[in-house]
Amino acid sequence: MNTATLTTFVIYLIGMLALGLIAWRATHSMSDYILGGRSLGPAVTALSAGASDMSGWLLLGLPGAFYLSGMNQIWIVVGLLLGAFANWHFVAARLRRFSARLDDSLTLPDYLEHRFGDDSRLLRLISALVILLFFTFYVSSGMVSGALLFEKSFGLPYQTALLVGAAVIVSYTFLGGFLAVSWTDFVQGLLMLAALVVTPAVLIGELGGWSRFVETIESTRPAALDPFHETGLLAAISLLAWGLGYFGQPHILARFMGIRSADEMHKAKYIGMSWMLLSMAGAMLIGLAGLVWYAASPLDNGETVMIALTQTLFNPWVAGVLLAAILAAIMSTIDSQLLVSASAVAEDLYRGFLRPGAGQRELVIVSRMAVLAVALLAGLLALDPKSSVLSLVGYAWAGFGAAFGPVILLSLLWRGMTRNGALAGMVVGALTVVAWGNLSGGIFDLYELAPGFLFAALAIVLVSRFGPAPASETLAVFDE
């Protein structure tokens, strides 16, 4: 274990805890804990949304995909960029305005209930349960990734590494809520961007410059530069379809609801998209440069390409910062998912069904207890890094995208959408993802998010068109 690298790592973790303590002093109500009192500026909104979105996939999975397969993975990058832009453009400002106007809705289930005047509370209940189910697996998967990073970097036993990583993330999320999560995600987003810009720049310089870099790939693995290599139409559509998932990710949508003004959303959009474009370009270049660097002795696990290059190219102090960036990517998603799960417990289930008259202090306490409970359950699932339950995490992005994506998008754009339409879309989207994901061959090789999103949207339109019309009060609020 290198002392310099470990020292840098520890300083970073202490800094995250310090931000949690500062945010704790600024958290007084449920609105503060869940949405930071809707006080985020555009830069924090943009970078915290990006950091919570990308997770360790941006620094581990994406470079690994380009390292193993080359430019035929470009389609997922294009799909995500288009999906993220559409989410900022069509959803962000509208959701901020709607959620504030609809009885100051703090969560997605809260928003959906008020948007459709759902006295039965079915929308709130089903959406809250879907959030808790998927995010428990998501958080568990992230904890495994963080523990493996500690284990590989510092030689810690797996269970010890899991405990250390979970303790830091849970501590600042428990204390500071949304502000702590957003502020730490902002710092983590900057750290991730720096790592993804510096690493490929140094790498390509070491390989003899850009021209030499491209020439080497062309001479050793020319297929790596072909975006259509071993990629048919169905595979390209599947990769592009990942972008549809953005409309339904609760941890990203919460950032839109927390900005201080919808009028500042256009600034946040350009900051967020610039961050995303630079970061993904850096991740792609790291994978391609690793392909050249390790041509003679390929890595056993392609997803460790950035870790391996970091430890090879940089001195221990710089390596510590870059490894911290990988941990930051993992932490920035786990903390957001913990917070959204806590809000589903406290705001949507506890206050929604058990204690409608609960006070602000009581709700904050329940939220903090929910953070601990979800983290504990996820940690138990993560004790075995090869636990079969973690294979379900592959459904989570598609599950949220199909169950919530069409519902959120159409609820903001179409005045004729009804409560029954929203329920039908949520159920059809989730069931399609589960059923489609368990089939294979032919059309069933298409990524399940694409049919799930399509069928959910059709269910919403058909049930809304041919069922009872929206109440006049619901239409009046939408028009306003």
CATH number at residue 267: 1.20.1730.10
What pLDDT shows up at residue 137? 78
What pLDDT shows up at residue 354? 83
Mean pLDDT of 70-82: 94
Examine residue 250 and state whether it is found in any structural domain, yes or no: yes
Phi and psi angles of residue 467, each rounded to the nearest 5 degrees, phi first: -100, -170
The more confidently predicted of residues 382 and 287 is: 287
Identify whether the C-beta of residue 258 lies closer than 8 Å to the C-beta of residue 45: yes
Report the C-alpha gap between 87 and 290 in whole angstroms.
32
What is the total count of domains within the chain?
1
What pLDDT shows up at residue 387? 56
Q: Which residue has the tokens 């943009």?
A: 46
Rg over CA atoms, the chain: 22
Examine residue 430 and state whether it is found in any structural domain, yes or no: no
What pLDDT shows up at residue 388? 46
How big is the chain, counted in residues? 480
What is the distance in angstroms between the CA of the first residue and the CA of the last residue of the chain?
61
Identify whether the C-beta of residue 319 lies closer than 8 Å to the C-beta of residue 310: yes
Residues in Cβ contact with 87 at an 8 Å cutoff, skipping those fewer than 6 apart:
246, 247, 252
Report the C-alpha gap between 51 and 332 in whole angstroms.
6
- Concatenating the DSSP letter of every residue in 179-194 gives HHHHHHHHHHHHHHHH
Helix 108-115 with 250-258: angle, nearest 10 deg:
70
Residue 76 has pLDDT above 50, yes or no: yes
Report the C-alpha gap between 289 and 212 in whole angstroms.
11
Identify whether the C-beta of residue 212 lies closer than 8 Å to the C-beta of residue 218: no
Q: Which two tokens stand for residue 376?
A: 């504990």
Residue 91's nearest CA partner among 239, 268, 344 is 268
User: What range does the domain containing 18 cover?
Assistant: 3-387
Q: How far is CA 192 from the centre of its chain?
A: 14
Residue 321's nearest CA partner among 172, 199, 182, 167 is 199
Lowest-pLDDT range, 91-100, 328-337, 371-380? 328-337
Residue 258's nearest CA partner among 336, 346, 366, 179 is 179
Identify whether the C-beta of residue 204 lies closer than 8 Å to the C-beta of residue 47: no
Q: Which residue has the tokens 């959406």?
A: 127
Residue type, 333: T
Report the C-alpha gap between 85 and 299 in whole angstroms.
34
Report the C-alpha gap between 471 and 464 in whole angstroms.
12
Mean pLDDT of 133-158: 78
Residue 471 has pLDDT above 80, yes or no: yes
* pTM of the predicted structure, to 2 decimals: 0.89
Residue 206 has pLDDT above 80, yes or no: yes
Residue 342 has pLDDT above 90, yes or no: no
Examine residue 476 and state whether it is found in any structural domain, yes or no: no
CA–CA distance from 268 to each of 255, 273, 274, 280 (Å)? 10, 8, 10, 18
Examine residue 311 and state whether it is found in any structural domain, yes or no: yes
Examine residue 455 and state whether it is found in any structural domain, yes or no: no
What pLDDT shows up at residue 389? 45
Per-residue pLDDT of 224-283, as tens digits, reads 899 988 888 888 999 999 999 999 999 899 999 999 999 999 999 999 999 999 999 999
Q: Which DSSP category does 471 fall into?
A: P
Q: How far is CA 253 from the centre of its chain?
A: 10
What pLDDT shows up at residue 392? 57
Report the C-alpha gap between 338 and 340 in whole angstroms.
6
CB atoms within 10 A of CB 28: 12
What pLDDT shows up at residue 386? 63
Report the C-alpha gap between 149 and 130 in whole angstroms.
29
- Give pairs for 85-90: CB < 8 Å, separation 24+: 85/269, 85/273, 86/243, 86/246, 86/247, 87/246, 87/247, 87/252, 88/265, 88/268, 88/269, 88/272, 88/273, 89/269, 90/409, 90/412, 90/413
Residue 190 has pLDDT above 70, yes or no: yes
Report the C-alpha gap between 65 and 224 in whole angstroms.
11
Report the C-alpha gap between 264 and 41 in whole angstroms.
8
What pLDDT shows up at residue 272? 96
Residue type, 364: V
What pLDDT shows up at residue 457? 98
CA–CA distance from 295 to each of 123, 166, 311, 446 (Å)? 53, 36, 17, 32
Examine residue 233 and state whether it is found in any structural domain, yes or no: yes
Examine residue 70 and state whether it is found in any structural domain, yes or no: yes
Lowest-pLDDT range, 190-199, 308-317, 414-423? 308-317
What pLDDT shows up at residue 273? 97
Residues in Cβ contact with 19 at an 8 Å cutoff, skipping those fewer than 6 apart:
172, 176, 180, 183, 184, 187
Indicate the pLDDT class of residue 391, thresholds 50, 70 and 90: low
Per-residue pLDDT of 81-106, as tens digits, reads 999 999 999 999 999 999 999 988 88
Lowest-pLDDT range, 18-22, 30-34, 146-150? 146-150
Examine residue 442 and state whether it is found in any structural domain, yes or no: no
Alpha helices (runs of H) in 225-264, residue ranges in sequence order: 233-240, 250-258
Q: Which DSSP category does 392 fall into?
A: G
Mean pLDDT of 434-450: 88
Residues in Cβ contact with 442 at an 8 Å cutoff, skipping those fewer than 6 apart:
none
